[in-house]
Amino acid sequence: MEGFYTVTAISPKLILGDIKANVEILQEKIEQFSTSSLLLFPELSLTGYTLADLFFQQLVEKEVIEGLKKLAKTTSDTIVIVGAPLWFRDNLYNCAVVLQEGEIKGVVPKTYLANYKEFYEERWFKSGKEIKGEKILDAPFGVDLLFRAQELLIGIEVCEDLWAIEPPSLKMASSGANLICNLSASDELVGKHAYRKELVKTQSARGICAYAYASSGVGESSSDLLYSGALIIAENGAILNEGERFKIEGEAIQAQIDVSRLKHIRRAETSFKLAKNYPFKEITLAKVPTPKKITRYYDPHPFVPKAKEKREEHSKEIFKIQSHALARRVRHIGNPKLILGVSGGLDSTLALLVCKEACAILRKQTSDIIAVSMPGLGTSGGTKRSAKDLAKAVGATFLEIGISGAVKNHLKDISHPLEVYDVTVENAQARERTQILMDLANKFGGIVVGTGDLSEIALGFSTYNGDHISMYNVNAGVPKTLVKYLIEWVAQKEEGLKEILLEIISRPISPELLPPKEGEISQETEKIIGPYELHDFFLYHFIKEGASPKKLLLIASLAFKDRYSQTEIKEWLKLFLKRFFANQFKRNAMPDGVKVGSVALSPRGDWRMASDVSVKRWLEEL
């Protein structure tokens, strides 16, 4: 699949000082992982990092050069990066050596030498920070090298370079590098690994790149320090894979990095275009192997954190953003009453809870919330009861205004048969409700608070000039898959509302615009437009990462392999694309509403699109 590359980080078994044995071990690993795009080994992996004064021995110099040449011959199209001490103009440099197709393609010396506390690197090595445009072993040599293979642009730093105040990788990423490889020899101390891991993760986020880290293992000397063989692969602030430390026989990890994703994020979501380009020289490498099958994990619910603790923290923050945004708007326009329709469904429930919290922030009476139940042709007894119970429980002023009679009169006025329950009947109810809310806002001196969520906005699942319109929409940034978790979070902290809220989130999602059957909901939204978990997945990757339809189908098939067939996913993806393109005109006229996450669709902020763009090419790619 285009844009995916397999990176393997290896901390092999090391025999300190036995270069020939180490070369054989490295050769075995190169052969074992020959289908990878790139293999990364630790710092000074030919000799060992703790060889100390033996680095100066002529035997070591001779065997390192022989070993590198032998290793190079082992290589084919997979990029291999190993660590070795190399002499240049009578100075010894701690180097990363890039091998491919039987050749040494380039050598990058370490810039920042660790020379404090337990580290004495300046005793043996010279910093390579001034080395540019040179040659060693008939290959380019310097800190000004980047390596190009297809869409991969690889930058290299060595251990301390990452820990420095100005890591070279930032300049590399600024100049286009999308994969940074770090050869390391990092000893273990209590708490150090957590910091190391955070460094790698953060650097991948700052550089909007992938970052592979391979450190030397327990084969190093243990005279004063122990090395664990830490292995980490990260991408744009997320750890893709991490190795087990302290393994005597060594360890290897793999991860598939998505370069096309990184490219989109750099282009569309950051100030990357303002980054300075530095004078790096690109070394062109041969075409590398790419994965035949994508095995990378994709979270089926990218808007919803899996861990309960993180989900609760996420919910708390979103709820604060929603309620403080509404409070700010209310304070600005003269402290009006808050008018909203309550149906007993998820979205209006969340909006009502946000209104309650906004009143608490403003020290405003909750009786200033006018919660209006407007039962119509499809309203079920259960949702009607829940709407009333919840409104009273939060202390809102509750009104019940039936719309069936008004809608029937209206249908009669436009000569629409009452027995034909079609989109005209559905939308007539939505618009009647909006009219009532707007008129009540005039009567009570209030604003209409909108309830439609981000998923509905994406799909255009609202009635234009009906529930599509409000004076401020508190749910505009919240996707459907997250709404119930926000309500559940409130339920856990507000005992008096818990029973009502848990009953509401247990029901199927429905607009309730068609007559109920035996008092129960007859119209389930997800049977009409498809599962919201799929649509939210499509929305996230389509907007956040610019994923093509082909890629959306692939990654959704991986994420939902145990829930939906690829045929089902494809059909719902077609519907998503059709509805997303066809309903931009609604988004272009949507009211103000607060953004809460990295995906939003406001035409004044995150998403600008003409209303008449053709969806044809997107559908054809499927």
Nearest by Cα to 93 from 216, 180, 222, 183: 183
Question: How distant is the alpha carbon of residue 364 from its chain centre?
Answer: 38
**Torsions phi, psi for 565 (to 5 deg):** -75, 160
Q: Which residues of 381-408 are buried (b: 16+ CB within 10 A; e: fewer)?
A: ebbbebbbbbbebbebbbbeeebeebbe
Pairing state between β 152-158 and 179-184: parallel
Amino acid 138 reads D
Q: Is 159 a catalytic residue?
A: yes
Question: What count of Cα atoms within 13 Å lies in the side-chain half-sphere of residue 56?
Answer: 8
Sequential DSSP letters for 243-255: PPSS-TTEEEEEE
Nearest by Cα to 26 from 64, 62, 77, 55: 64
Tokens matching residue 204: 């991948």
Name the catalytic one among 13, 105, 110, 126.
110
Name the catalytic one among 29, 43, 357, 484.
43
Name the catalytic one among 159, 181, 209, 355.
159
- Residue whose structure tokens are 């995150």: 606
Which residues are bridge partners to 513 per DSSP?
none
**Torsions phi, psi for 180 (to 5 deg):** -105, 130
Q: Is 43 a catalytic residue?
A: yes
Rounded alpha-carbon distances, angstroms, from residue 308 to 283, 315, 358, 441, 485: 46, 10, 25, 39, 10
Which residues are the active-site residues? 43, 110, 159
